[in-house]
Amino acid sequence: MKSINLEVNGTAHHVSVGDQELLLDALRGRVGVTSAREGCGVGACGACTVLCEGMSVSSCMANAARYDGKALTTADGLPADDIVVSAFVECNAMQCGYCIPGFVLMTKELLAENPSPSDDEIREHLEGNICRCASYPEILAAVRLAAHRMTGAM
């Protein structure tokens, strides 16, 4: 076991992790994060997405010890009035909700890099996220709405 320090959603956590422990397991089992979820276990679906200093990470594939001292953001740490969160709610961009935290965080990453993305740019950025309920039109609408609110232009 190795002791590491993680800053998760602005709160410091000192946790012990195994040499091969995945970041997803450390976040869920040791920190109490519930929004990062295992979908595929191979980094191909986006359900486990977290942000590390603004960049997306597939936490189901990431060794927890590599994130010692890093600042992580999960959907658990976003307020209900967050622009992206509220856009997803308003556009009804969820059915079961299992995948939505990953889509929300990927949207935050996209809009930080490109506040006015085209539909093709949105699709390209979100292509690693899978929604089994097929809420893709609503998700696209939510990203557009969040971008509009951030920039004031459609």
Here the CATH number for the domain that contains residue 16 is 3.10.20.30
Number of domains the chain is built from: 2
Examine the domain organization and report whether 63 and 120 are in the same domain. no
Average pLDDT value for residue range 106-124: 98
* pLDDT higher than threshold 80 for residue 62: yes
How far is Cα 14 from Cα 12, in angstroms, rounded to an integer? 7
- What's this model's pTM, rounded to 2 decimal places? 0.95
Task: Print the domain residue range for 101.
Answer: 83-151
Residues 90, 68 share a domain: no
pLDDT higher than 60, residue 113: yes
Place of tokens 């590390």: 52
> Within 5-153, where are the H helices?
23-26, 83-90, 100-113, 119-126, 136-151
| In a shared domain, residues 90 and 72 | no
The average confidence (pLDDT) of the chain is: 97
* Average pLDDT for 123-149: 96
Does 20 share its domain with 54? yes
Whether residues 68 and 121 share a domain: the answer is no
Res. 154: pLDDT tops 90 = no
Domain shared by 140 and 98, yes or no: yes
* Boundary-marking domain end, from 77, 102, 133: 77
Residue 153 pLDDT class (50, 70, 90 cuts): low
Q: What is the average per-residue pLDDT within 24-47?
A: 98
User: End of a domain among 35, 58, 77?
Assistant: 77
Least confident of 23-27, 105-109, 132-136: 132-136
> What is the CATH number for 99?
1.10.150.120
For residue 71, the cross-strand partners are 7
Please give the Cα distance from 60 to 57 (Å, whole number).
Answer: 9
CA distance 62 to 79: 26
Share of the chain above pLDDT 90, in %: 96
